[in-house]
Amino acid sequence: MEPTLARRWPALVAFLFGLVHGLGFAGALKEIGLPDNYLWVALLTFNVGVEIGQLMTVAAAWVLYRIVRDMPVMPMARRASLYTIGTMAAYWSCTRIVAILA
Residues 41 and 79 in one domain: no
Shared domain for 85 and 56, answered yes or no, is: no
* SS3 track for the chain: CCCCHHHHCHHHHHHHHHHHHHHHHHHHHHHCCCCHHHHHHHHHHHHHHHHHHHHHHHHHHHHHHHHHCCCCCHHHHHHHHHHHHHHHHHHHHHHHHHHHHC
Higher pLDDT, 25 or 95: 95
- If asked whether residues 65 and 75 sit together in one domain, one would say no
Q: What is the pLDDT of residues 16-50, one digit of tens each?
A: 888 887 777 777 777 887 777 877 887 788 888 88
Question: What distance, in Å, lies between the first and last C-alpha atoms of the chain?
Answer: 40
Instruction: Taking residues 46-64, report their average pLDDT.
Output: 90
The pTM is what?
0.52
What's the total number of domains in the chain?
Answer: 2
Q: Which of 5, 50, 90 is nearest to 98 (CA)?
A: 90
Check residue 84 and give its pLDDT.
93
Range of the domain at 50: 1-70
